[in-house]
A and B are shown apart, each in its own frame.
Chain A
Amino acid sequence: MLENLKIVFHQGKQYIPDPTTVEVPGIFRGRPVISLEKVDETELIALCPTNAITNQPIQIDLGKCTFCGECAMRFPEKISFTKEYKIASNERERLIITEGEDKAIEVNPDTVRKEIHRVFGKSLKLRQVSAGGDNSCEMELNAANNVQFDISRYGIDFVASPRHADGIVITGPITKNMAEAVQICYDAIPEPKIIVLVGTDAISGGLFADSSAIDRSFLDKYHVDLYIPGNPAHPLSIVNGLLDLTRKLK
């Protein structure tokens, strides 16, 4: 008993008091900023492994970006990654960063479905489905629930049965072999329900977008309520994204 108390005492305070304002350590690659500097655009565009960079004007689509940081390394005067981890939005277009603009990526409260705040504002139960995810976003979703990030303090939990869930969280590009299971799981969730995509693979297919082994037709059928980019998404991006979606008032 005494030993247990000693261990507990040695842990100190592990939880992050406010995950909406805390600073991440090190050189985290979060929301990029693009300057108006002139560079060899053809080379810049050709560099990106997922064709996330386009020109006129130069833009980076965080839904496609793998956050490898290669563009910032080759063209440091043009692109730099900030430590800003709030990069989730309910609108796909907001994930696109344009040169010369340094503005936050946000959930737009005007376009969030009305019932979300009312029904899920205080309690949100989610069913996670990995559909070709490489286990990195899955690990970070688990980390969002550890004693440090502790997402359950906000009434957000991951549950075992879709029947108990208010929404589905999809990771991975959705493989052909998993497409049916995703559909069955979604159908089993009672209305109203939300869809959250976590990670680049889920949002755009990422590196797998052109693979003939994936089937993303599920996403054509439904409205996606939240996009959380990252490769993998950082637990702070996940926590903040879900809070902004459900808590933000018009």
Chain B
Amino acid sequence: MNGISEVTERYLQLYKDNIEKISGISSKYINSFRAGAFEKFRELGIPTKKNEAYKYTNLNIFFDHDYKSYFLPVESDFVKAEKFRCDVADLDTHGIVLLNGFYPTINDKLRQLPSGVWVGSLNEAATKFADKIEKHYGKYAKSETDGLIHLNTAMASDGIFIYVPEGVILTKPIQIVDLVQADDDMFNQHRNLIIIEKSAQISLIICDHTLSPHKSLTNAVTEVFVGENAHFDIIRVQNEHNNAGKITHTFIHQEKNSTASSNNMTLHGGLIRNSTYHHLGGDGAESHSYGLFLADKFQHVDNFVNVDHAFPNCTSSQLFKGVLDDMATGAFNGRILVRPGAQGTLAYQKSNSILLTDDAKMDTKPQLEIFADDVKCSHGATVGQLDSEALFYLQSRGINKREARLMLMFGFAHEVIQNIKIEPLRDRMDNLVMQRLKGDLSRCASCVVRCT
């Protein structure tokens, strides 16, 4: 495309206005990426529908907006965040509250959990764990086509940093509650880095909430390094209001014999785009990607998954399901790439969607790109409605239609939920989904901050 679009121009300007301030608070190493990423962003711009990866998502609804502020944290902001408590019953976690993606400064900026795991601010870690950061930062989040990733690299100043030393097995999951709170329409970007060394194991829960009614847009990048024999689970629970735009890019790099799973549960949100990149970078690695979304009104949910089989004997699976109501639109874009030489690959992908109304729309684009012959790959995609025979069966046994529909939809969604390994969270999700399907719930009921 020739010329730079107006929308892109807006963000180029934003960079120019803020870069000095951002660079001032960030470490030298992180700053060293900025200029290059900015150039790349200038070249690629904000993705349009002409970009294959964004073919079904119109970002302009959120990007072509005059955000009054670009979020950079001030001490006083964090006092508000501290008040927030998430109370999922029986869920025992190491809780961390983030404000607009930033680690609260009033606590220790970087603390060590009893088991030896470090959690804290990326910015802070850049000095304390300089060697780790230099080894991993910016190594996995790469893209030749997606300008948003470069925009993040160019401007993001902080985010969460987790370091799990070799052999540490964390039994309690880490829960990050990511709050979006602003007095004005706000754009924010954060950058997370998670390093799991050899034979270590953690589960991470990320809950996204919006506290303020203003329009907000988040463009977050998370890089994860999963070492040899290590184990990593990430579960994202997204429950935001219709004015919230959330773009997440998660890059999971796996070494030999490691396993990783990603689970995106989207209950509510204005514009949601979750890109998950699984890079199987060692023999015998295993990855699973799950996603469930329930969309209504004018919401748009887009799940993008890229599984890159770069080494032999790796296994991957994908399961994505969606229920679309009202005028909601959904997209699924899943790609399995088997590189030359990645023999013995097993890769599966499944995407099912249910349309409940005539105005709902679903676009799916599963892809297989295979350059090795000793592989078993398959994908299946369906778009349809509830099975009328199943519905009839239930009705014939005295269950009323509304109830029967609910049961079927719940069963449909549960197939994804059952892959959550943390039991209290799984029960909670079942419960939330049930309420959501009944229409009782527009946002997280147990959240103490009653946002309207």
Q: Are A and B associated in one complex? A: no
